[in-house]
Structure 1
Amino acid sequence: MGEITNVMEYQAIAKQKLPKMAYDYYASGAEDEWTLQENREAFSRILFRPRILIDVSKIDMTTTVLGFKISMPIMIAPTAMQKMAHPDGEYATARAASAANTIMTLSSWATSSVEEVASTGPGIRFFQLYVYKDRKVVEQLVRRAERAGFKAIALTVDTPRLGRREADIKNRFVLPPNLTLKNFEGLDLGKMDQAADSGLASYVAGQIDRTLSWKDVKWLQTITTLPILVKGVITAEDTRLAVENGAAGIIVSNHGARQLDYVPATISALEEVIKAARGQLPVFLDGGVRRGTDVFKALALGAAGVFVSTPIRSTYRLVSSPLFGVPPLIGGRRRRCRSGGRWCSRWRRRARPGCPT
C-alpha cells in the first residue's frame, strides 16, 4: 500500500498485522453488529449546506473542555488493553495526545497504570472508570488518578454486563499471559482467566456492579473533587437525570456498538441529548468518527467535541515507531475538520447548532 490517506486504511493494515484475537477484540461489535455499521452510515446521511464568499483565511480550532484549553475539539477516548497491539501501548497514546495538545482518556482496563501514563510527561488526561462491586477498589482507583494528575473522571454507565461480542466468544478471548490490567496489580484483579466463552465477559460478570445507579454518581462526588463525565448517555430522559445529579458533562456513546446492538448511532442520538441538556452542561460525542468531516458534523449539531477510539486501536503495529502512528490520525482529523470549517465557517460564530446540515 502506498501513502496512507485515511484511518480506514490504517484499520485494514492492522487486520493483516495484528493477531486475530486482538484485532477482533478491537474491531468487533455486539451480536449482529448492526449498530457498529450504523455508527458509520448515520454520518453519511448528514449533508452540508456550505455557504460561500465568507472570509475563511483564519480558522481557529482551539477549544476549552472543562476549563482546559486544547488545540482542537478532538480527544482520545478510552481504549482497553492497548499493549495487545504494541509493547508501548498506552505510553504511545499518552505521548501522542500530549504532542497534539489534546486530551487522552485512560481506560480502567489499561495495560499501563495511571502512574506509568503520568510518567510520560505533562498532559491533560481523564480517567475512565467502571464501578466495581468492591467500592474500596473504586475509591483507590480514583485516589490514584487524582495523585497522578488526571483532571476528570469519565464514568462508564452502559456496562452492567458485557455485551455479547460473538467474535470474542469464538476466539475465547483472554488477555495474553504476558499482560495484566495494570491498574489492578496487587488487588488480585489484574489477571483475566480463561473461560468457556469470553474471558472478559466472565471478568465483568464477577467484578462489575450491576446495581450501579444515579446514587453512585452522587457517591463519587463525595470521594473526589474531579469533574465527572457520564459516558453512555443516548436519551433525553437520562440527559435530564445527568443534569439533576450534577454531572459535569455527558459523553453520548453506545460503547462503540459493543454493548447493546440495535441502539441508535451516536450521531443520531446527539440532537436529542443536546436539546434535553439545554446548555446546562457540555455534551460530547463518541462513536463512528473516522474523518474530519464527521467531527465537523458533530460540532455543527451541537457537540462540544468528539472522542475517537477505534481507529486509535489500529495503529501501533503499523510502523516501527508507535509514536509515529497516532499523531497522523489526530492531525489528519484536525486538517480535515479545518477544511470543513472553511466551507461552513459559521459554526464558531453562532449559537450551536451552527452550520446547517
Structure 2
Amino acid sequence: MSRIISPEEVAKHNQKSDIWVIIHGKVYDLTQFLPDHPGGQKIIMKYAGKDATKAFEPIHPPDIVDRFLAPEVCMGSIDLEKLSHVKIEETEEDKQIRLAREKMPRLEEMYNSFDFETVARSVLKSDAWAYYSSGSDDEITMRENHSAFHRIWFRPRVMVNVKDVDTSTEMLGSRTSLPLYITATALGKLGHPEGEVVLTKACKTRDIIQMIPTLASCSFDEIVNAAGPNQAQWLQLYVNSNRQVSEKFVRHAESRGMKGLFITVDAPQLGHREKDMRQKYSQEDPDEISRNSTEVVRDQGAARAISNFIDPSLCWDDIAWFKSITNMPILIKGVQTAQDAVLAAKYGCKGIVLSNHGGRQLDFAPSAIEILAEVMDALKRENLDKGFEVYIDGGIRRGSDIFKAIALGAKGVGIGRPFLYAMSSYGVEGVEKLLDLFQSEFEMVMRFMGVTKISDITADMVDIRNIKDHFVANPIDYLSQTSYERMQPRGGSKL
C-alpha cells in the first residue's frame, strides 16, 4: 500500500542535498536526478518541497517519470485533502492572463488565422508564447515562409460552372476533406490542459489528418485513443541516439494504425532560438547569477530541455534500417533542396516534406514554397515523380496559400502554429473554427480560379516569375505584422 505523505513533510525536503517534489499526486525524491535533469536544476529547485505538477505537465507526457526513473524514487502519495488546503498565490502573470481570457473576442469574431495568433499572444504564458512563436537567429526565414507566398500571383479563369466544389483529396492512401494536415508541433499542453488531444478531436470532426509529434505533451497512446475508429494519423519521428528506443516506438506506432512515418532530418542540433532562450534565462535568480556569473549557461529554453536525445549521426544509409523495421510508408521531413528530394526518392522513400522547421533551425534557409517548383522539376527529370508524394509546411496562413502549393505540385500542406494558437485560445471549438475558415477560403479560391476538384489545379494557374526575388517591394501584410509585433487590441490592453 502506498505511503500517504503530508504537504508539510514534503516541504521539509527543499535542498539540493535532499529534494522532494509532488507530481500528479505522487511524491518523488529527485536528489540523485537533479544534476541530470535535461531542463537544468533551476526549475526543479523552484518547486523543491512543493507541487510541481503545473510546471511539469505542459513539458512532459504523464508516463515519463515511470518510464525513465527507478521505482524507488517514488516515496508515496500526497495527502490530497491536505494539499487542497495549501494556498497558491496568483502571480501577476496569471492575473493578466485571466483578465485577457475574460476579454477575448467571441469565436464568431475570428475571421482568419492571424486573429487566433493575436488572441493567443494575450492569453498564453510568456514561456509558452516564447516557445511557440520563436524562430532562429533574426527570424528572417520564419517570416519569409509566409511572405514568399506574396510573390506568387494567380491567373483566374471565368465562365466555368463552379456551383459544386469538392475540396477532398487522398494523402498517403487516406481520404481527407482538405489537402491539409495538422503537422507535428511539440508541447501542446503549454497552450491547453488537454494538449494534442484537442487537435485530435478537431481532426476527427472535420475529417483531417493529424501528424503526431514525438515530443508531445500527451503520451502517444493518449492521442491515438482519442481518435475515431477510421481516423487517419501519421507519426513524426525524431530519431533517438539509442536506436532500440526508436525501433520500439516505430513498431508500437505501426501496431496502433499509423498511416505514415515522417522522419525529421533537419535537426542534427537545435537552431539558435533567442526568444525561447531569453525567456528561460529571465527565469533565473538574478542574485544567484551575479554570484556565479562565470558559471551561468544561457541554454536553449524549452526546446533544449526536451530534445537532447536526437541523433546527429542520422544519414541516408539509415533509411534501409527503417524500412527493415516497419511497413509504414517512410517520408523524409525537412528536405530543403532538389538534390535531397531526388535522393529521398532514390533511397526508396514514399515522399518528402519540404520544410525548414518553421524557420526554427537555419536562418536564411529557403521557404518550402520557393523551392517546390524546382523540386518537382528535378523529380520529373529523373522519372521519380510518379507515386512519390511531396508535401510542404511553413508559413501557410490562407486558403490561397494552399491552392498555390497544390498548383506547384504539392500533394498537401502541413500547418502547425495557427492550430496551436486556435487551441490555446478557444480549445477544440477554436481548432474546428480555423479548419472551417481554411475550408471556406480554399473553396472560394477554387471557384475564382475556375476549378471544381483538386485534380483540376495545375501549374499554369499561378505566376511564379518573381518567386526568387527576395528583395522586391511587397505590399505590407498588416495582419501578419500586427500579430508578430506588439499592437493595441480591443479594449486598449497590450498584447
Scaled by the length of structure 2, the TM-score of the pair is: 0.65
Post-superposition shift, 1:282?
A: 1.1
Give the aligned CA root-mean-square deviation in angstroms. Answer: 1.9
Cross-structure match for 1:232: 334
1:106 and 2:212 matched: yes
Post-superposition shift, 1:127?
A: 0.6
Cross-structure match for 2:255: 147
Cross-structure match for 1:334: 439
Q: Is the 8 A contact 1:107 1:128 kept in 2?
A: yes
Q: Distance in 2 between matches of 1:353 and 1:304?
A: 13
Post-superposition shift, 1:140?
A: 1.3
Task: Describe the shift of the 1:352–1:276 C-alpha distance in structure 2 as closer, same or farther (beyond 3 A).
Answer: farther
Q: Distance in 1 between matches of 2:116 and 2:332?
A: 30
Pairing 1:288-327 to 2, within 5 Å after superposition: 288-319=395-426, 322-327=427-432
Number of equivalences? 336
Q: Distance in 1 between matches of 2:445 and 2:121?
A: 30
Partner-residue secondary structure (3-state), 2:436: helix
Post-superposition shift, 1:203?
A: 4.5
Cα displacement string for residues 130-180 of structure 1 (whole angstroms, at most 9, x for unaligned residues): 111100110111122112221111110100001110011111279xxxxxx
Post-superposition shift, 1:288?
A: 0.4
Q: Distance in 2 between matches of 1:72 and 1:349?
A: 13
Pairing 1:282-293 to 2, within 5 Å after superposition: 282-293=389-400
Post-superposition shift, 1:202?
A: 4.0
2:371 maps to amino acid: A
Scaled by the length of structure 1, the TM-score of the pair is: 0.90
Higher Cα Rg: structure 1 or 2?
Answer: 2
Pairing 1:149-164 to 2, within 5 Å after superposition: 149-164=257-272
Partner-residue secondary structure (3-state), 1:318: helix
Percent sequence identity over matched residues? Answer: 37
Cross-structure match for 1:264: 366
Q: Distance in 2 between matches of 1:100 and 1:349?
A: 21
Counterpart among 54, 63, 83 of residue 169 in structure 2: 63
Post-superposition shift, 1:350?
A: 4.7
Which structure 2 residue ranges, 5 or more long, are not aligned?
A: 1-104, 283-295, 464-495
Post-superposition shift, 1:196?
A: 3.5
2:447 maps to amino acid: R
Partner-residue secondary structure (3-state), 2:138: coil
Task: Describe the shift of the 1:126–1:349 C-alpha distance in structure 2 as closer, same or farther (beyond 3 A).
Answer: closer
Q: Is the 8 A contact 1:162 1:204 kept in 2?
A: no
Counterpart among 153, 171, 181 of residue 75 in structure 1: 181
Cross-structure match for 1:189: none
Q: Distance in 1 between matches of 2:425 and 2:281?
A: 22
Q: Is the 8 A contact 1:74 1:330 kept in 2?
A: no
Counterpart among 39, 54, 61 of residue 160 in structure 2: 54
1:288 maps to amino acid: G
Cross-structure match for 2:376: 274
Post-superposition shift, 1:201?
A: 5.2
Decide which moves more: 68-77 or 199-208. Answer: 199-208
Decide which moves more: 202-211 or 18-27. Answer: 202-211
Partner-residue secondary structure (3-state), 2:391: strand
Post-superposition shift, 1:270?
A: 1.0
Task: Describe the shift of the 1:348–1:213 C-alpha distance in structure 2 as closer, same or farther (beyond 3 A).
Answer: same
Post-superposition shift, 1:111?
A: 0.8
Cα displacement string for residues 204-263 of structure 1 (whole angstroms, at most 9, x for unaligned residues): 774111111011122111100001111111211001100001111111111000000001
Between 1 and 2, higher relative CO (CA 8 Å, sep ≥ 6) is seen in 1
Which structure 1 residue ranges, 5 or more long, are not aligned?
A: 175-193
